[in-house]
A and B are shown apart, each in its own frame.
Chain A
């Protein structure tokens, strides 16, 4: 099964709050799990990524938590800022192939 399920579809967070986006996958052959950020009128851009042998990766205010046994991973945005307002896609990768989740539209209210 090549699907990646992402939730929620949209999210509104107050400035300074924590944004959490969740993803789940079925295919255990996926070997890399990136998150892409997309601003209106732009293409997606890599934000942060994790290997399946790591349980957590942190880059600044962005953290990926990875649960291999549950086949789930999540993005946490700490101290969310209005500039973080964007669409976020989780993805699961194989060589030559990226399977994207449906996307989460995040709005951070100031």
Chain B
């Protein structure tokens, strides 16, 4: 039982390049989230999804896009990478949207844009 799997673990991009961060889960959770973590800033929500075919913006969506074609997968796309997008990205899942349900995190993708 892998839980939440993120790939790649590390990536260096040049300014203006694009890439997709992959997130897949085997817990059959409908709710999925993408966060970015910057030093001293905590985790900020980029996008979230309440089920296949449904996505919505979080606190910091600019420069990113998502899709959710299956329950298992929730990829995050950077179209024109900028240095401000250097960060550690975490994908999380949740069984139900209830506040008292924990979010389950992957181990992150560390992305540097030079």
Q: Shortest beta-carbon distance, A54 to chain B, in Å?
A: 12
Chain A residues, CB < 8 A from B98: 95
Chain B residues, CB < 8 A from A103: 40, 42
Interface residue B12 (Cβ < 8 Å from any Cβ of A):
no
Can you give 16 A-B contacts (C-beta < 8 A)? A4-B42, A42-B107, A43-B92, A43-B105, A43-B108, A46-B102, A49-B102, A51-B100, A93-B100, A94-B99, A95-B97, A96-B31, A97-B45, A98-B103, A100-B42, A103-B42
Q: How far is the CA of A41 from the CA of B92 in the complex (A)?
A: 15
Binding site for B on A (CB under 8 A): 4, 6, 9, 30-32, 34, 41-46, 49, 51, 89, 93-98, 100-103
Chain B residues, CB < 8 A from A46: 102-103
Q: Shortest beta-carbon distance, B26 to chain A, in Å?
A: 15
Interface members, chain B 53-104 (any A CB < 8 Å): 90, 92, 97-100, 102-103
Chain A residues, CB < 8 A from B41: 102
Known contacts A34-B102, A51-B100, A95-B99; decide if A101 and B42 are in contact (CB<8 Å).
yes
